[in-house]
Amino acid sequence: MIGRKELPKAAKSAAAAAATGGHVHTGPKNLWGVHAWGKDIRVKGVFSSCVACHSIIITEDGQALSWGRNDKGQLGHGDTITKYEPTPITTPSGVKWIGAACGRGHTLLLTSKGVVYACGDNKCQQLGIDSKDANALTPRRVIYRGKPIIKMTCGAEFSIILDITGALYSFGSPEFGQLGHGEEGKFLEKAGKVTFKYERIPRRITTYISKGRGGEITPFRGVVILDVASGVSHTVALDNQNRVFTWGFAGYGRLGHSETKNELIPRSISNFDYVKTQILHVAAGSTFCLATCANKMTYFWGQNKPAGEATMYPKPLQDLQGWNVRSIGCANKSIVVAADESKSEELVNSLRVLTGL
């Protein structure tokens, strides 16, 4: 039910039946604690995102299993029926899955040969299949003929893929400049209605810049991206020169530039120019970003609390100082951190400070 303005019809019927003493089965009960899914499979990776209400498992033998919300066909099973436990996705002949990325209502799947498939919501062309179909209920190959893809990320209504040479490609809705092509794609339709020109197939992001204090723009050449992550309507990326770029919607300081002006092309965060250590990884939640460094510091910017001041530029998280953070997972507001040689009580206390719990 997360993010629903009102209950779906089935849930309303169940509530009405319960109120009159009847019963309608709508699926398993909520589980409020950690529990094991007891199937005998070897898991290579689990994928979801801060905008998704569904998840993907990739097994060691290259199968994909999905579960969760499925109103747009984002689970890839050929229907729009919610799945309450991991369910195998029919795999095209000769394909072995190695990765996935989840948007609000769509999913990207990556093969061992670097080919991308997509399913789910396509109203903003975020599937990259060059089709006007509103949904794709089973995985369809993305229209892309470049170098093999090694990583993918999804926002609410856009997608970004990273190839083996460090080049980024984006497609879907250009609103807020989240595709990084220097425009928001707005135009007036009939009767003064504002709409957007969607990117139907992956388009390479070609320009990366820095901005001086006086607003002067300096472009970078030969940018090679190593890591990328997306929130609802913004993206953060790390390159091989230790630069961190952000673009898209700038509300609540999520871009880290000490201002709330949207960035239409990738702009480097100037504060990281003074960080004299290797930046290892970037992560994104709905309205915030994080970066981990080799000196065991983790930086945060944006906002992950319903109220309070936003962090307008990257600041080190003192409560995680000295922790060798291996992995970060971001939901809408919450954050999960995995660290080496961690003492559980100390890490829990640090996370409570970080999340305001």
Mean pLDDT throughout 327-340? Answer: 90
Right CATH for 221-357 from 3.40.50.970, 1.10.540.10, 2.130.10.30, 3.40.50.300: 2.130.10.30
Mean pLDDT throughout 314-330? Answer: 92
**Confidence check: pLDDT of 122 > 80:** yes
Structure tokens at 173: 């809705």
**Confidence (pLDDT) at 170:** 98
Radius of gyration of the chain (CA): 21
Mean confidence (pLDDT) of the chain: 90
Q: Is the pTM for the entire model greater than 0.75?
A: yes
Residues of the chain with CATH 2.130.10.30: 42-206, 221-357
Mean pLDDT throughout 213-223? Answer: 93
In terms of Cα–Cα distance, which of 287, 150, 334, 173 is closest to 227?
150
Mean pLDDT throughout 266-273? Answer: 96
Mean pLDDT throughout 276-293? Answer: 95
Please name the amino acid found at residue 124. Answer: C
Share of the chain above pLDDT 70, in %: 88
Locus of tokens 């195998």: 88
Mean pLDDT throughout 49-55? Answer: 95
Mean pLDDT throughout 240-250? Answer: 97
Q: Which of 29-38, 41-50, 127-136, 288-297 has the lowest mean pLDDT?
A: 29-38
**Confidence (pLDDT) at 194:** 80
**Confidence check: pLDDT of 126 > 70:** yes
Residue 226 near residue 166 (C-beta atoms within 8 A): yes
**Confidence check: pLDDT of 320 > 70:** yes
The CATH code of domain 42-206 reads 2.130.10.30
**Confidence check: pLDDT of 347 > 90:** no
- Contacts with 26 (C-beta within 8 Å, 6 or more apart), sequence order: 10, 11, 14
Share of the chain above pLDDT 90, in %: 72
Mean pLDDT throughout 207-232? Answer: 96
